A and B are shown apart, each in its own frame.
Chain A
Amino acid sequence: MRNIEALNNPFGDAKVISNCSIFGMMDRTGRRFSGRDISRAIANMHDRGNGLGGGLAVYGIYPEFADHYALHIMFTSAQGRKATEAILAANFQISRDEDLPTQPTAEIVNPPLVLRYFVKPTHSRLEGLSEDDFVVRKVMEINTSVEDSFVFSSGKNMGVFKGVGFPEQIAHYFCLEDYEGYLWTAHGRFPTNSQAWWGGAHPFSLLDWTVVHNGEISSYGINRRYLEMFGYHCTMHTDTEVITYAVDLLMRKQGLPVEIFADIVSAKLWTDIDRMDPESRQLRSALRQVYGSMLLNGPFSVIIAHEGEMIGLTDRVRLRPMVAAAAGPMLFLSSEEAAIRLVSPEVDRIWVPQGGEPVVGRLECTSEAPKSDQPLAA
């Protein structure tokens, strides 16, 4: 989308404001399940969104193409498709391309054409880049220079499905009850502006990293400028884009563990740091000194996912809600408890994480919620 800025920010606002509902569920044994439950769960929080954006991310859906990058691309013109497919053909082996299956959904109007491509980078084109970085570069190229085309999902064995509508309508439109994955996240959006664009819905993604987000980050301006120093182009003018790039920079590129990531974006208060033992104090102080521009200051709760992992995180004074629950191998994260109870009436435990303390679910290991959070139900 050459005009991505205008599309996602039609009024040229300093930033695009939107809030919402979020939900995530994961089977930590890797058992795959359909999108039926998450669709019901997010629909139960219908009033947290306003129908101007909904979407889901699902992991483990393309096992037959697990080693391929699965590109989901929306097109609004035949020329755009032609130009994009030329770029794909020049840079990738395309093992399969097909329309994303859809079904008529009354509330979904003027949908773009959406295709998926299972691709592998053509080795001679890598020019020293890793495959991941090459894919990121090509996705950015299409998204910023090609007319009428937008890549909104580019990871392996996962997919993002999103558009303008309530999330349950988007799920229906894309037939997500027919897919099976071991980890699902969902988002119901409440943008303040109505001229919503399909690409502006959540989840926001880069490779297999996805973010669904609720809140508004008041530090956006400096977060963005910091990321721009590292070559990120914040074309969407949204908090979520900034969070996604923060995840990419700190966790994927710099390889920092999730707990440290949490201590950067939801930094501990100085009054608490001052009371820590010298070693912890030194670490936390250094994080704030070095990454002060990456503190996400203001209300947020996010669910970050990538292959094999789901992370829930809130801001340091917990201004946005997040409820977590574990039921056998299942881990749930939600804006509201009722949505969890709807799909899993019985849970082993249900709790509200402390602000800034991540809840992490990983494949094949039980998620120990951090010791610090309080068990609220036996």
Chain B
Amino acid sequence: MNERNNGRRAVRIDATGLYYRDLNQLVREAISGGARRIELEGVMGQRYIGTNVYECPDLGDVEIHIHGVPGNDLGAFLNGPRIVVYGSAQDGCGNTMNAGEIVVHGRAGDIAGFSARGGRILVRESAGYRVGIHMKEYGPHKPVLVIGGSTQDFLGEYMAGGVIIVLGLGIDGPHRAALVGTGMHGGAIYIRGEFDRDRVGKEVGIVDPDAADMAEVEEHVRAYTDNFGGSAEEIIAGPFSKLYPKHLRPYGRLYAY
């Protein structure tokens, strides 16, 4: 079971048929016991992987590699570890995540990155509805969500901070997501490729990214290609549009005082 991997203690766990609670307990015990790299085999729908490791030491060094399809709320409240999924992630991936990284070699479901305050999520393919909803940033915490393909409607709804980058790789035609950034009042969404500008949220402004914006995009695009391959240069060549909130206080004038 235990082996040394690049000087890091690795543990392999066969998740086949394990109930999520038992699986997550095994992961917790392994990390408390000093394991720094956890390989989970045969994962199929188990929820909350990476959630219950609070108080384990040095979480920033921990890597959890998941083979299969993890269940909903993957990495919910994640606070440091790096999770790599060799498959797709279901709904709620990175829910209220605080720090760490989730790398998905497949697609992600609805509300990926919901309310995330920090960390980074890289999704090789596309993602579902309401992705990046209510992401927020604070001080040094700035969540980043990179989607290789496209997303469905309500991308970045209520977005209050952080960065969402949608690369449009391998999609047929323009992005179809409607109501992008509806209620947005912070952060930025970068979309590569064509999309219907009339269907974005009314709170959203659209500009061409400037050099500083592109430097930020490039950093995360390189992380994307480092993980999934492809040419960062080709991707960065764009064209990118930047969606930004027109107001920090979209509802400031809603009320009669």
Contact = CB atoms under 8 A, between A and B. Distances in A.
A352 B171 contact: no
B153 A355 contact: yes
Contacts of B154: 317
Given A352-B109, A374-B126, A374-B149, A342 B172 contact: no
A253 interface: no
A338 B107 contact: no
A318 B45 contact: no
B150 to A, nearest CB: 6
A350 interface: yes
A375 B107 CA distance: 11
Contacts of B125: 376-377
Interface residues of A: mostly helix, strand, loop or mixed?
Answer: loop
B75 interface: no
Interface in B90-118: 90-91, 106-107, 109-110
B126 A376 contact: yes
B72 A336 contact: yes
B24 to A, nearest CB: 13
**How large, as a class, is the contact surface on chain B?**
20 to 34
Interface string B58-91: 0000000000111110000000000000011011
Contacts, number: 78
B68 A372 contact: no
B71 A377 contact: no
B198 interface: yes
B50 interface: no
Contacts of A336: 45, 71-72, 90-91
Contacts of B244: none
B171 A338 contact: no
Given A47-B47, A317-B153, A321-B109, A341 B87 contact: yes
Contact of B45 (A317, A321, A339, A355): A339
Contacts of A275: 198
A45 B45 contact: yes
Contacts of B176: 354, 372, 374
Nearest to B178: A272
B44 interface: yes
Contacts of A338: 44-45, 68-71, 90
A337 interface: yes
B190 interface: no
Which applies to chain B's interface (DSSP): helix, strand, loop or mixed? loop
A374 B71 contact: no
B128 interface: yes
Contacts of A272: 178
Interface in B152-195: 152-154, 170-172, 176, 178
A14 interface: no
A336 B45 CA distance: 8
Nearest to A318: B129
Interface in A255-290: 272, 275
A376 B124 CA distance: 10
A44 interface: yes
B69 A341 contact: yes
A325 B45 CA distance: 16
A337 B153 contact: no
B72 A374 contact: no
B106 A321 contact: no
Nearest to A354: B152
Contacts of B198: 275
Interface in A352-378: 352, 354-355, 372, 374-378
Contacts of A317: 129, 153-154
A374 B126 CA distance: 8
A199 to B, nearest CB: 29
B44 A342 contact: yes
Contact of B149 (A339, A354, A376): A376
B107 A341 contact: no
Interface of A: 44-45, 47, 272, 275, 317-318, 321, 323, 336-339, 341-342, 350, 352, 354-355, 372, 374-378
Interface of B: 20, 44-45, 47, 68-72, 87-88, 90-91, 106-107, 109-110, 125-126, 128-129, 149-150, 152-154, 170-172, 176, 178, 198
13 contacts: A272-B178, A317-B153, A318-B152, A336-B71, A336-B90, A338-B45, A338-B69, A339-B45, A341-B69, A350-B88, A355-B153, A372-B176, A375-B172
